Amino acid sequence: MIKNLLKPKLYIENIGNNKSNIIIYPLERGFGHTIGNSLRRVLLSYIPGFAITEVEIEGIIHEYEGKKGVKEDIVNILLNIKDLSIGIINEDIDSELLVINKNEIGPVTANDIKPNNNIKIFNKDHIICNITSNLINLNINMKLQRGIGYNPFNILKKNKNDNNTIIGKLFIDANFNPIKKVSYNIEATRVENKTDLDKLIIYLETNGSVDSEYVIKMASNILIDQFNVLLLNNKDELIVKNETNNYTNSNKLDDKILLKSIDDLELTIRSLNCLKSESIFCIKDLIIKSEDELLKISNLGKKSLSEIKNILNTLNLKLGTKI
């Protein structure tokens, strides 16, 4: 192990409106880009969050209609709903029904959502639409879900098996990631006589539902978890290359396959997002899970389970494997 590497410190500078600068320094030369780029990619793709996935508006069958007595058309209402910043407080709950009932002239805001002890609204003044007549009752039901990454509305709609259940339901592209923007830059810094050091400054903008320090630590832990597979301290776990260029190991299971990303399994986007939401990133993480454990994952049903089992079977692998 290389000795005497500088140990950087972390500083968080809040600059208002859910924006902050994450400052990490001093870093050895080159480490600024290495750490900055890695954190940026994780922050933009793998931080779990919440999003509205389904909307029902009384009297509306599809998004290309208008609602009498409401200023905005349905498409604009859905776009406004998409920008709601709401979180589920209870970690054991993966989805929650949100309800709005209003019949007064004026703006309909996030604050008009019926009180619910399981949720927290972070942008209460956000306008959903404007009522222009006292003669209507505006009733909106919204499904708030916990998830990771991005789910386009056509995938959400496709995953509804019963066509009767989707009549009147309006599906929204779900961006679960609470991170709105991430960028970084490197500045030169010095410590005593060492002048060729890096200062990493990460600009971070969130939707207000998460704390900057929390997401930086989460992104770091995700990277640590992935790098841990490289720390093979047990010689029996090492993959060795023999003279015939075939990879073998002393275990019955091939580590080369087990350490592959689940992205290589060519699963549907729904199945991938469900697995990643439970920190299942490689095949090894997957096969140690039982069928019952997978079925407990939010939005992962029997159809997805069957897909996973069939693909694992092609690799001579199965769920519930003890490693």
List, for residues 19-75, the tens digit of each pLDDT value. Answer: 999 999 999 999 999 999 999 999 999 999 999 999 999 999 988 888 999 999 999
The radius of gyration computed from the CA coordinates of the chain, to the nearest angstrom, equals 24
Residues 88 and 119 in one domain: yes
**Is the pLDDT assigned to residue 141 strictly greater than 70?**
yes
- Please indicate whether residue 153 or residue 94 has the higher confidence score (pLDDT): 94
Q: What would the pLDDT profile of 183-215 be if each residue is shown by its tens digit?
A: 999 999 988 888 889 999 999 999 999 999 999
pLDDT at 244: 39
247-271: average pLDDT: 71
Type of residue at 38: S
For residue 111, give both structure tokens.
Answer: 């604050």
**Maximum average pLDDT range among 83-87, 158-162, 277-281:** 83-87
Look at residue 43 and tell me if it is in a domain: yes
Select from 240, 224, 221, 229 the least CA-distant residue to 323: 229
Q: Per-residue pLDDT averaged across 286-306, rounded?
A: 89
Going by pLDDT thresholds of 50, 70 and 90, the confidence category of residue 152 is confident
Reported confidence tier of residue 161, pLDDT bands at 50, 70, 90: low
pLDDT at 184: 96
Residue that wins the pLDDT comparison between 3 and 8: 8
Q: Are residues 37 and 83 in the same domain?
A: no
Q: Confirm whether 235 is domain-assigned.
A: no
Contacts of residue 44, Cβ cutoff 8 Å, sequence gap at least 6: 177, 179, 182
Residues 202, 258 share a domain: no
Question: In CATH, what number is assigned to the domain containing residue 166?
Answer: 2.170.120.12
Tell me: do 184 and 113 sit in the same domain: no
Task: Give pLDDT, residue 3.
Answer: 66
In a domain, 239, yes or no: no
What distance in Å separates the CA atoms of residue 296 and residue 282, rounded to the nearest whole number?
Answer: 19
240 within a domain of the structure (yes/no):
no
Supply the range of the domain harboring residue 102. 49-175
Report the distance separating Cα 311 and Cα 293, nearest Å: 18
What is the spatial distance between Cα 119 and Cα 179, in angstroms, rounded to a whole number? 19
Per-residue pLDDT tens over the stretch 75-99: 999 999 999 999 999 888 999 999 9
Reading the block at residue 31, the tokens are 């480490």
C-alpha pair distances (Å), 180 with each of 20, 26, 122, 274: 12, 27, 14, 21
Sign of CA dihedral 291, 297, 300, 304: negative
Q: How far apart are the first and last CA of the chain?
A: 29
170 and 128 housed in the same domain = yes
Mean pLDDT confidence for 311-316 = 86
Claim to verify: residue 168 and residue 186 sit in the same structural domain: no
At 253, which amino acid appears?
Answer: L
* Strand-pair category, 194-206 with 19-27: antiparallel
Give the burial string for 187-216 (b: 16+ CB within 10 Å, else e): eebeeeeeeebbbbbbebbbbebbebeebb
> What's the rounded mean pLDDT across residues 285-297?
91
Residues ≥6 apart with Cβ < 8 Å to 294: 300, 305, 308, 319
CATH code for the domain in which residue 200 is found: 3.30.1360.10
Judged by average pLDDT, the poorest of 55-69, 140-154, 217-231, 235-249 is 235-249
Look at residue 237 and tell me if it is in a domain. Answer: no
Model-wide pTM > 0.75: no
Counting the structural domains of the chain, the total is 3
Q: Note whether residue 289 is domain-resident.
A: yes
What's the whole-number average pLDDT of the chain?
A: 87
At residue 247, does pLDDT exceed 70?
no
CA dihedral of 157, 119, 84, 11, whole degrees rounded to 10: -120
- Is the confidence at residue 160, as pLDDT, over 70? no
For residues 32 and 98, the answer to whether their CB atoms sit within 8 Å is: no
Q: Is residue 79 part of a domain?
A: yes
State yes or no: pLDDT of 245 exceeds 50: no
Among 149-153, 162-166, 274-278, which is the least confidently predicted range?
162-166
The answer, yes or no, to whether residue 232 has pLDDT greater than 80, is no
Question: In whole angstroms, what separates CA 73 from the centre of its chain?
Answer: 29
